[in-house]
């Protein structure tokens, strides 16, 4: 499925915040630092509907409604499930199936 491209209007004051953030990142990262548009895109990526709703409700101060919003958490895939040793879960160790078994 092709990802749609949409235009989102950003107020000049809000854009200045991202431009200032880009300058701060550029001081640390140098030439490979993202620009303001890349930072805006980063803020929009990998967000869940529940997370966006909770952030909005936090900003407007409706904490009771925020607690009612359910956030779904993805279940671990078979590649990242924790190892079970002796009946106890070991949360820091995980099993990852190699993509190419010949590289073991």
DSSP letter string, 30-80: GGG---HHHHHHHHHTT--HHHHHHHHHHHHT-HHHHHH-----PPPPTTT
What would the two tokens of residue 72 be?
Answer: 């779904």
- Asked whether the whole model's pTM tops 0.75, one would answer no
pLDDT tens for the chain, 104 residues: list them: 787 888 989 999 999 999 999 999 999 999 899 999 999 989 888 888 888 888 888 888 887 887 787 766 666 555 555 555 555 555 555 556 667 767 65
Two tokens at 80? 């990242």
């Amino acid at each position: 499925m092709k990802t749609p491209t949409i235009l989102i209007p950003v107020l000049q004051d809000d854009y200045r915040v991202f431009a200032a953030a880009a300058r701060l990142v550029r001081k640390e990262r140098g030439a490979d630092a993202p620009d303001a548009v890349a930072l805006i895109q980063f803020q929009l990526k990998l967000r869940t509907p529940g997370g966006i709703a909770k952030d909005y409700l936090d900003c407007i101060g409706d904490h009771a409604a925020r607690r009612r919003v359910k956030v779904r958490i993805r279940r671990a895939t078979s590649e990242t499930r924790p190892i079970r040793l002796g009946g106890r879960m070991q949360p820091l160790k995980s099993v990852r199936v190699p993509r190419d078994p010949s590289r073991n």
